[in-house]
């Protein structure tokens, strides 16, 4: 945790600055987003029903480009606000970045997601169907860009900025991770209670992993694998990506709590493995 705490301590960390920075970030995001949207509309580069398309995963390109654009804009807004208000460099929020950690997280969680999907397939084979078609190749490319921007932005905001601030206030990793996870899960309540609970646990585990590994590289890989798998490989009928022309579609509402339990076991296993391996314990940052 020393490396993570070193990055968190950089800049001006008065409590009121931690309150002001997100407010400024939202203002910047809204203003820039509105200005760019208006400009593209005036140039007739956006369809008249773009507001509807960006909410429908079946409209692959508008939806995933919109996801990547707005989440990316939010991360940039936070980075700019943190530099203005707190003199924090974006690298301080990212922490120690190692591509090896990113790809390890990506590989681990892709394998986990595949294993959990196979278990569901054995339990309820009739709930699965092959839906790959002409739009799947486009989905694979566009979703990768959009989901990569979305998941990195969420890690930058939650496991970077917010978790750092909470750790500076609480001084202890486990309470910090719990508060961070609750904040992350609260934003998923509109998706339903099971998904919100899963997001709480996912947020807690990712916060612990970020503190352990010194930054958000490993959790960014985990998060990308989690969301990309659900958007392209096995698309659930009860997920935010439902309607995407993925390779396989899963419609097993009867397994929703079962999946929550299996996912919890997998997350606990992942954090146990990472905390057991000295490889993920990094020396303090210079």
- Which among 8, 3, 2 is positioned nearest to 180, based on CA atoms? 8
pLDDT lower than 50: segments of the chain: 283-286
**CA distances (Å), 168 to each of 20, 38, 181, 201, 224, in order?**
16, 40, 16, 21, 27
**Residue whose token pair is 């585990």:** 205
Instruction: State the pLDDT at residue 192.
Output: 86
The per-residue pLDDT for 37 is 87
Model pTM score: 0.93
Boundaries of every domain in the chain: 2-280
β-strands 248-250, 128-130: how paired?
A: antiparallel
Tens digit of each residue's pLDDT (9 = 90 or more) over 113-150: 999 999 999 999 999 999 999 889 999 999 999 999 99
Question: Which residue spans within the chain are E strands per DSSP?
Answer: 128-130, 234-236, 248-250
- Each residue of 248-283: pLDDT tens digit? 999 999 999 999 999 999 999 988 888 887 767 654
DSSP, residue by residue, 57-98: TTSHHHHHHHHHHHHHHHHHHHHHHHHHHH---HHHHHBS--
The DSSP bridge partners found for residue 62 are none
Separate counts of helices (H) and strands (E) for the chain: 12, 3
């Amino acid at each position: 945790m020393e490396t993570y705490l070193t990055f968190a301590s950089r800049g001006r960390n008065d409590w009121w600055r931690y309150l002001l920075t997100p407010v400024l970030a939202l203002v910047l995001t809204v203003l820039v987003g509105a200005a760019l949207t208006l400009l593209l509309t005036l140039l007739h580069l956006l369809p008249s029903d773009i507001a509807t398309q960006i909410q429908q995963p079946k409209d692959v390109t508008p939806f995933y480009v919109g996801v990547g654009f707005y989440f990316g804009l939010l991360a940039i807004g936070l980075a700019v606000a943190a530099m203005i208000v707190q003199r924090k460099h974006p690298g301080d929020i990212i922490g120690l970045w190692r591509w090896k950690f990113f790809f390890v997280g990506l590989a681990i969680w892709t394998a986990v997601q595949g294993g959990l999907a196979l278990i569901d397939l054995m339990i309820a084979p009739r709930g699965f169907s092959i839906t790959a078609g002409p739009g799947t190749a486009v989905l694979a490319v566009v979703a990768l860009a959009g989901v990569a921007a979305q998941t990195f932005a969420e890690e930058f905001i939650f496991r970077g900025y917010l978790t750092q601030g909470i750790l500076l206030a609480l001084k202890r990793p486990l309470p910090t991770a719990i508060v961070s996870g609750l904040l992350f899960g609260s934003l998923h309540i509109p998706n339903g209670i099971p998904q919100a609970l899963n997001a709480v646990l996912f947020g807690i585990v990712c916060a612990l992993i970020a503190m352990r590994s010194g930054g958000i590289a490993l959790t960014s890989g985990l998060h990308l694998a989690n969301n990309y798998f659900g958007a392209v490989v096995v698309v659930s009928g009860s997920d935010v990506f439902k309607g995407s022309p993925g390779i396989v579609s899963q419609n097993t509402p009867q397994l929703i709590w079962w999946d929550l339990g299996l996912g919890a076991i997998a997350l606990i296993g992942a954090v146990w493995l990472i905390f057991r391996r000295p490889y993920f314990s990094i020396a303090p940052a210079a």
